[in-house]
A and B are shown apart, each in its own frame.
Chain A
Amino acid sequence: MTVKKAASLESEGKVVLPGDEVLRIPEHGQIRIGPGLQQQGSKIVATRPGVVRVAAGSKVWLDSRQRRYVPAEGESVVGVVIDRMGESFNVDINGPSTAALPLLAFEGATRRNRPNLRTGDLVYARVVVAHRDMEPELSCMDVHGTAAGFGPLEGGLPESVTTSHARRLLSQPTPVLLRTLAGGLSFELVVGQNGRVWVNAPDTAATVAVANAIQQSEGLSEKQAATFAQELLNGLQATRAVKTE
């Protein structure tokens, strides 16, 4: 137990590249490897550039930058309806293949009462089935069958970020960037774990400001992001002051 823990913690926080050995498989105990790692013989090797993360001493994975999404069951995503094929919608969720969203996977939907989604509409859904060899399946209901915020997203502005940035936006405590923006504006924000984001605010300028802030804060640290957001807010207030004069 102790030997395994020491080995994992050694590489925690280390930056690795494709082909680098992350750790050796210990003789006793179990290790669960996550995204970005692969077993090659008796070694665990990185398959893309990233930072090694360890949790609970036995779960190891890589934190890496990726624009594309790998569907996983239970995650919430923002998708674009591409077309309707029979009893389900074809939705683009920024993954290796499009996903299927059944017509009846909406709260209160029956054969006579169908959801009114057209090609190009944005939809916030939950991933129900995700397997490497199959097309992922979505649902606009939670496990209990209620809408719970899922469904079509009307109006607003979609934006695209990396999946790691989306995860950071969804983390607790709320990131400084979002807190700063919320201090000066009121807006609605939906962050999909697939790197697709949707912003809606009462007026266009605010919507664009928030969307810009989210997209351009990718490579910034917490402090830089907060400063950036504050500057955006100041600029927005200045233009509004000019308008009212």
Chain B
Amino acid sequence: MEFVSPEGLRLDGRRPKELRRLACELGCLPHADGSAQLQMGNTKVVAAVFGPHEVTNRGDMVNDRIFINAEVAIAGFASDRKKIGRGDRRAAELTRSLRGALEQTVLLEQAPRSQVDVFVHVLVADGGLLPACINAAVLALAHAGVRQRDTMAACSVAYLESTPLLDAGAAEESGGGAVIVAALLQAAEVLPLLTVDRKLPLETLEAVIELAAAGAAAVSQWMKAQLLDHVQKLAICQAVAR
């Protein structure tokens, strides 16, 4: 299968450095303290945030900071692959990476000995699951008013046929090449998360990371515009902002 045509077009007609279409809806779950539904291309995820509230398991309580109870679940209807069940390794790995990324951006000292639940459900899986989960979680946390260092965003890059391809879809991710995911805190110029799946030639690493970071920066700008729009509408309604 040819991932990049001679004219330089990918399987879905995009250029190598083109992001997929982004869409989000804030506050889609009225019972959650904060919620966001995010679409990156066909990949659709929903994130719900509860807290900060009392810890549910005493053993999880941390004396001087928030305990982030992140949980990612992939719906059985998310892809054409049959659902494996509770022991899904993919969901467990997404959970671990998501918690790690969120611990870098949420201001953990704001509520010691408390817990913030971040539940993310993948409704349609078409590649870029980890970036979508991270981005949706950040939007939901901002909607809930949980204090964060910056508006963190993440993006993936697949390295196929010697070309870095930004924001890879499912077909490109399973094409045999390396898949890199990078999250970015723009103001601090720090990558709180960087994962590399499969193998990548060392000399291409820097270029690939830079592309992923650039993609994350673009997603971060878009997320900020969405949050701004949402807060502005609310504030104008309540005659607070000008």
Residue contact A65 to B224, C-beta cutoff 8 Å: no
Residue contact A17 to B147, C-beta cutoff 8 Å: no
Q: What is the size, in residues, of chain A's interface with B at 8 Å between Cβ atoms?
A: 36
Given A67-B33, A97-B114, also A15-B232 (CB < 8 A): yes
**Which residue among A45, A67, A222 has the maximum number of chain B CB atoms within 10 Å of its CB?**
A67
From A47, A51, A63, A64, give the contact of B107 (CB < 8 A): A47
Query: B-facing mask of A83-96, CB < 8 A → 1, else 0?
Result: 00000000010011
Given A15-B241, A67-B34, A96-B111, also A49-B144 (CB < 8 A): no
From A13, A17, A96, give the contact of B228 (CB < 8 A): A17
Shortest Cβ distance from residue A97 to the other chain B in the assembled complex, whole angstroms:
5
* Chain B residues, Cβ within 8 Å of A132: 109-112
Residue contact B145 to A65, C-beta cutoff 8 Å: yes
Q: How far is the CA of A13 from the CA of B142 in the complex (A)?
A: 19
The reply on B202 being an interface residue by CB < 8 A is no
- Which of B48-56, B75-83, B172-180 makes up part of the contact surface? B48-56
From A15, A19, A97, A222, give the contact of B113 (CB < 8 A): A97
The reply on A133 being an interface residue by CB < 8 A is yes
Residue contact B111 to A47, C-beta cutoff 8 Å: no
30 intermolecular pairs with C-beta atoms under 8 Å apart: A13-B240, A15-B235, A15-B241, A17-B142, A17-B151, A17-B231, A18-B147, A18-B151, A19-B150, A36-B147, A47-B149, A48-B145, A48-B146, A48-B148, A49-B142, A49-B231, A51-B240, A64-B231, A65-B231, A65-B234, A96-B53, A96-B66, A97-B53, A97-B54, A97-B113, A97-B114, A132-B110, A132-B112, A164-B238, A221-B238
CB within 8 Å of B: which of A68-109? Answer: 68, 70, 92, 95-98
* Chain A residues, Cβ within 8 Å of B151: 17-19
Q: How far is the CA of A98 from the CA of B234 in the complex (A)?
A: 30
* Chain A residues, Cβ within 8 Å of B111: 70, 96-97, 132
The reply on A66 being an interface residue by CB < 8 A is yes
Residue contact A219 to B237, C-beta cutoff 8 Å: yes
Q: How far is the CA of A71 from the CA of B111 in the complex (A)?
A: 10
* Chain A residues, Cβ within 8 Å of B145: 48, 64-68
Q: How far is the CA of A41 from the CA of B150 in the complex (A)?
A: 15
The reply on A220 being an interface residue by CB < 8 A is yes
Query: A-facing mask of B105-147, CB < 8 A → 1, else 0?
Result: 0010111111000000000000000000000000000111111
From B112, B144, B149, B241, give the contact of A68 (CB < 8 A): B144
Q: How far is the CA of A117 from the CA of B145 in the complex (A)?
A: 33
Given A17-B224, A132-B112, also A47-B148 (CB < 8 A): yes
From A14, A19, A70, A96, give the contact of B241 (CB < 8 A): A14
| Given pairs A17-B228, A96-B66, 18 additional interface contacts (CB within 8 A) | A17-B224, A17-B227, A19-B148, A19-B185, A19-B187, A45-B187, A48-B148, A49-B227, A65-B234, A67-B144, A70-B111, A95-B52, A96-B54, A96-B114, A97-B54, A97-B114, A133-B113, A219-B238
